[in-house]
Chains A and B, each alone.
Chain A
Amino acid sequence: QKEVEQNSGPLSVPEGAIASLNCTYSDRGSQSFFWYRQYSGKSPELIMFIYSNGDKEDGRFTAQLNKASQYVSLLIRDSQPSDSATYLCAVDYGQNFVFGPGTRLSVLP
């Protein structure tokens, strides 16, 4: 069974700190990996995707992929209270995505 695991949190960080969110997946054949942000009561919105080993940066966000260890992470630099949300990791298994349960992030002013 194809699984995606995340620490449910909550993860609390002070404003201005780096938030680190982690995700592990079970299928080595996975090619593409996605991070979504979901505010309470709202639908998920795409932050970024990554498909090559290493780092990918987009503004304050950096996705890191390590296919050998089967994990993908999201770093948020200079965290702001507006970053407080649930972060969903998704793995593209070819036909469909499998989503992790999400990590709730709380950025404290």
Chain B
Amino acid sequence: SQTIHQWPATLVQPVGSPLSLECTVEGTSNPNLYWYRQAAGRGLQLLFYSVGIGQISSEVPQNLSASRPQDRQFILSSKKLLLSDSGFYLCAWSEGRGNTDTQYFGPGTRLTVL
């Protein structure tokens, strides 16, 4: 069965510091991968998605970036965090094929920028 991991689970960072969040998926190959952010009391905002190694699409202009160095690894980064970057960051995966492409979420990383 497939499993998705995210770390760290929680993070408190000062404004202007760098960020690196990691997501890995087990039990599947060549998945589609997604990064979402959920601000407090808000809906899910798609940040990036990837259909393969090195292929990243950005949905929202921001100071964040994403990379996919390996098939089942997805990394979210920032060089300098802003207060507005606080939120719940969720990684998701899908098979990327078939008529119904269900997305499954990891446990999330709660980021607080002070």
Contact = CB atoms under 8 A, between A and B. Distances in A.
Interface in B59-111: 59, 90, 99-108, 110
Contact of B105 (A41, A43, A49, A51): A43
Interface residues of A, number: 23
B9 to A, nearest CB: 11
A96 interface: yes
Interface in A18-61: 31-32, 34, 36, 41-46, 49, 51
A37 to B, nearest CB: 11
A30 to B, nearest CB: 12
Nearest to A95: B49
Contacts of B110: 41
B99 A31 contact: yes
B100 A92 contact: yes
A32 B108 contact: no
Nearest to B103: A97
B46 interface: yes
B104 to A, nearest CB: 7
A98 B103 CA distance: 11
Nearest to A8: B41
B2 to A, nearest CB: 12
The 7 closest A-B pairs by CB, nearest first: A101-B43, A99-B44, A43-B105, A43-B108, A32-B100, A44-B105, A99-B43
Interface of A: 31-32, 34, 36, 41-46, 49, 51, 88, 90, 92, 95-102
11 contacts: A32-B101, A43-B108, A45-B105, A46-B103, A92-B100, A95-B49, A96-B46, A96-B49, A96-B59, A98-B46, A101-B43
Given A34-B103, A46-B103, A98-B46, 9 more contacts: A32-B100, A36-B105, A43-B107, A44-B44, A44-B105, A45-B105, A49-B102, A51-B99, A100-B43
